[in-house]
């Protein structure tokens, strides 16, 4: 996994590249993230192309997921985040 991080006080930005290896396939995924403190964050998939644009927003105890294929935002209930 390769990580690039830039932090300034309470905020940070990072780009992660991770490789998932299985016996019959391999996937390389790049994720960009921005955070403000521990309560606010955004994650966005940059690569591979088929997952590009998927994102997650977390603010306090609320979380939303965006899927560009269906052009829809899905709110996750707090019970699913435990």
Alpha-carbon distance of 46 to 55, in angstroms, equals 9
CATH of domain 2-81: 2.50.20.10
Q: Is 55 exposed, middle or buried (CB count within 10 Å of its CB: 0-12, 13-18, 19+)?
A: middle
Closest to 75 (Cα-Cα) out of 59, 60, 63, 57: 63
- The pLDDT value recorded for residue 2 is 65
Q: Per-residue pLDDT for the chain (82 aa), expressed as one digit of tens each?
A: 566 666 667 888 999 999 999 999 999 999 999 999 888 999 999 999 999 999 999 998 899 999 999 999 999 987 877 6
For the whole model, what pTM was predicted? Answer: 0.77
User: So where are the chain's domains?
Assistant: 2-81
């Amino acid at each position: 996994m390769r990580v690039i991080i830039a932090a300034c006080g309470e905020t940070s930005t990072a780009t992660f590249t991770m490789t998932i290896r299985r016996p019959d396939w391999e996937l390389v995924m790049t994720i960009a993230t921005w955070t403000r403190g521990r309560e606010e964050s955004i994650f966005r998939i940059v690569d591979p192309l088929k997952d590009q644009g998927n994102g997650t927003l977390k603010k306090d105890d609320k979380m939303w997921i965006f899927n560009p294929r269906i052009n829809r935002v899905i709110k996750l209930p707090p019970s699913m985040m435990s």
